[in-house]
Amino acid sequence: NAGVMQNPRHLVRRRGQEARLRCSPMKGHSHVYWYRQLPEEGLKFMVYLQKENIIDESGMPKERFSAEFPKEGPSILRIQQVVRGDSAAYFCASSPQRSYEQYFGPGTRLTVT
Amino acid sequence: DQQVKQNSPSLSVQEGRISILNCDYTNSMFDYFLWYKKYPAEGPTFLISISSIKDKNEDGRFTVFLNKSAKHLSLHIVPSQPGDSAVYFCAARETNNNDMRFGAGTRLTVKP
């Protein structure tokens, strides 16, 4: 029973490029959450999605960031025109329903040069 | 706004002794609290949780205590083992809110 998968594990982008981060939830899980961890800080909630629906994006920056969870395939967190301040570890978590315990992936470390 | 605070960035404990990790919160609407453990280059792993209707939850070597009046919770690990060395995150959420708030983490080092 594979856990939450995230790829790539490391991503380097130059300022102005686009970053696409992928998350495959655990089998049977239809709820996906994205978090961002800046250096020396805790995880900050970004967005909560179910299949084909964004349920809560209150933690997403208003511009350049978007997320989707299509009917087929992984959830995608997309960052357009990346800036240095976007450098962080991005974690995806999933749950079988809207439950308290979320299972985290290994994260994608984004570095913007 | 830091609604969940872990004021100790690091803690060092001798193997076999007790580790006590602390967490404070400000939002009185939080009704569920969790501890996650994180090793380098891995995602956080759920460790133990407690509902606000309880003041203690125990699972093997791990016990979480909740003091609602003080808005404080703690994680006790006894006896501590070198494999417990990791960063521990405290998290809190309220019913009907998707936003789980995390503390900044405490790095625990258990020395053999």
CB A5 within 8 A of CB A104: no
Strand partners, A90: A36, A108
Nearest to B46 among A6, A55, A101 (CB): A101
Phi-psi region of B29 (alpha: psi -120 to 50; beta: other; left: phi over 0): alpha
Give the gap in angstroms from C-alpha B112 to the nearest C-alpha of chain A.
26
Tokens 């606000």 locate to: B52
pLDDT for residue A1 is more than 60? no
Average pLDDT over residues B6-25: 96
Cβ of A45 within 8 Å of Cβ of B100? The answer is: yes
Tokens 């400000």 locate to: B26
Q: Convert the pLDDT of each residue in A76-112 to its tens digit.
A: 999 999 999 999 999 999 988 766 678 999 999 999 9
Neighboring chain B residues of A100 at a CB cutoff of 8 Å: 32, 34, 49, 93
Neighboring chain A residues of B99 at a CB cutoff of 8 Å: 45, 56, 58-59
Q: Convert the pLDDT of each residue in B80-111 to its tens digit.
A: 999 999 999 999 988 777 678 899 999 999 99
pLDDT of A34: 96
Cβ of B41 within 8 Å of Cβ of A106? The answer is: yes
Going through A1-113 in order, the beta strands assigned E by DSSP cover 5-7, 10-13, 19-24, 31-37, 43-50, 53-56, 65-68, 75-79, 88-95, 103-104, 108-112
Q: Convert the pLDDT of each residue in B28-82 to its tens digit.
A: 999 999 999 999 888 999 999 999 999 999 999 999 999 999 999 999 999 999 9
Record the tokens describing residue B5, joined without a space.
């605070």
